Amino acid sequence: MDLGALKRGVSMGPLAIRHAGLCEKLSDMGLSWCDHGDIIPVKSGATTNQLKNYEQIAEANGRLYAQTRESLERGAFPVVLGGDHSVSAGSVPAVAKACKDAGLIWIDAHGDFNDDQSTSTGNMHGMPLSVVCGCGPDKMAPYAGTFIDPMRAVLVGARDIETLESLRLKEAGVTVFTIHDIDRMGMSEVAGEAIKIASSGGGGIHVSFDMDVVTPDAAPGVGTPVHSGLTVREAFLSMEMLYQCGKVLALDMVEVNPILDEQGRTGILACELILSILGKSVF
């Protein structure tokens, strides 16, 4: 799905990650897997300037919500391949519904905490963190009856947050570790604190990873790049620590845009980061 984004092409992100060898590499790690295929949005639906394509996005994410819940009920670990970040409005509520007191670690260059009143663009990939914390817009996830407690939601790697969005994050009580915090504290300490906060309810953690959090030199294939992001090693360290904590329930890997990529680098990196949170190690 790329209906939540300004630029087209991120709908091909799942294909790029698969093409990088995700399923084959999972088998090489000794993991069993099942590829449930793509969820394709319906061709038309209601839209407004403040909530672009909201009906199509909600319909597709309703199906993703159901599929994610089914996977969790079978005891599987859902890996959701985006697509723009609006897909997390389908996956995260499913985890919150299935797993009481779950927390959330949102690794992203952006705040994603707008609603239809604060947005300056109407692009709904700038709203899913707000949605899954129960702060709206409600039209984006009409199927969701359970949300993440904002006090157990942690945004990591932010470096492009709008003014109204910043106020909404503070009012909701979301913990934000900006790129400045990572520079000052180091990724090891930031990731450790994020895990502690997100898991404080004892219900496990959903991880939602937006590839634009990585510095554009290393991940050029994203629709909304922001300079001076996470290094590749910082990104891997965060995923390695998340695996080691043993508390992660599900993963979103989003915003890979093959049209804007260079020789598949971003898709390959996304694939390797997924393998890392599933336990791939150097030694």
Report the distance separating Cα 197 and Cα 217, nearest Å.
31
Q: Look at residue 145 in the predicted model and tell me its pLDDT.
A: 86
pTM of the model: 0.97
Q: Annotated catalytic, 19? A: no
- Annotated catalytic residue within 84, 108, 149, 234: 108
Closest CA to 169 of 180, 158, 182, 179: 158
- Annotated catalytic residue within 84, 116, 255, 261: 255
Cβ atoms of 93 and 146 within 8 Å: the answer is yes
Q: Annotated catalytic, 85? A: yes
Q: Look at residue 107 in the predicted model and tell me its pLDDT.
A: 98
DSSP track, 70-113: HHHHTT---EEEPSSGGGHHHHHHHHHHHSTT-EEEEE-SB---
Phi, psi of 109 (to 5 degrees): -75, -20
Q: Look at residue 283 in the predicted model and tell me its pLDDT.
A: 79
- Annotated catalytic residue within 116, 125, 252, 261: 125
Output the tens digit of pLDDT for each of the chain's 283 residues: 999 999 999 999 999 999 999 999 999 999 999 999 999 999 999 999 999 999 999 999 999 999 999 999 999 999 999 999 999 999 999 999 999 899 999 999 999 999 999 999 999 999 999 999 999 999 999 998 899 999 999 999 999 999 999 999 999 999 999 999 999 999 999 999 999 999 999 999 999 999 999 999 999 999 999 999 999 999 999 999 999 999 999 999 999 999 999 999 999 999 999 999 999 988 7
Report the distance separating Cα 59 and Cα 71, nearest Å.
19
Q: Look at residue 148 in the predicted model and tell me its pLDDT.
A: 97
Q: Annotated catalytic, 212? A: yes
Report the distance separating Cα 207 and Cα 105, nearest Å.
5
Q: Annotated catalytic, 255? A: yes
- Annotated catalytic residue within 85, 206, 240, 252: 85
Report the distance separating Cα 225 and Cα 212, nearest Å.
6
Report the distance separating Cα 172 and Cα 154, nearest Å.
12
What the chain holds in terms of domains, given with CATH numbers, is 10-35+46-277 (3.40.800.10)
Q: Look at residue 257 in the predicted model and tell me its pLDDT.
A: 98
- Annotated catalytic residue within 2, 55, 84, 110: 110
Q: Annotated catalytic, 112? A: yes
Q: Look at residue 219 in the predicted model and tell me its pLDDT.
A: 98
Report the distance separating Cα 133 and Cα 208, nearest Å.
13
Task: Report the DSSP pairing between strands 175-178 and 205-210.
Answer: unpaired
* Residue 55, SS3 per DSSP: helix
Neighbours of 279 (CB within 10 A): 12
Q: Annotated catalytic, 138? A: no
Consecutive H or E run containing 157: strand 153-158
Tokens of 90: 């389908």
